[in-house]
Amino acid sequence: QSALTQPASVSGSPGQSITISCAGTSSDVGAYKYVSWYQHFSGKAPRLLIYDVNMRPSGVSNRFSGSKSDNTASLTISGLQAADEADYYCCSYAGSATYVVFGGGTKLTVL
């Protein structure tokens, strides 16, 4: 069982928007602004999409956005494209003892 809880799968049609939730606790997501999101194609290197809850690294499309409310973080992908079909993982700093925890991953299907 992963430390952070994500839906196993989400789906959407091209052009639509989807949101992936990431439920944590007051010891991780709720305690720090260090939430990040990753896109992962099987057999490839994961890619950083969002860090510090809502910051996008250079080169990441503004179709990807992040937010947080209390103990739950969210990733929103707008203007869905077929190329967005991948696994998405949330990650949070969880203090000096545990350090980092990931969510179980969400498989995005573009219909």
Partner 1 sequence: EVQLVEAGGGLVQPGGSLRLSCAASGFTFSSHYMHWVRQAPGKGLVWVSRINSDESSTIYADSVKGRFTISRDNAKNTLYLQMNSLRDEDTAVYYCGRGILGPAVAFDMWGQGTMVTVSS
Q: Least distance from C-beta 10 to partner 1, angstroms?
A: 15
Strand ranges for 1-111 from DSSP E: 9-12, 18-23, 35-40, 47-50, 64-69, 72-77, 87-93, 100-102, 106-110
Nearest approach, Cβ of residue 72 and partner 1 (Å): 18
Residues 17 to 36 in contact with partner 1, rule: CB under 8 A: 32, 34, 36
Answer yes or no whether residue 47 interacts with partner 1 by CB under 8 A.
Answer: yes
Residue 75 as a binder of partner 1 (CB under 8 A): the answer is no
Cα–Cα distance, 61 to 99 (Å, whole number): 28
> Which residues form the interface with partner 1 (CB under 8 A)?
2, 32, 34, 36, 38, 40, 43-48, 51-52, 55, 57, 89, 91, 93, 96, 99-105
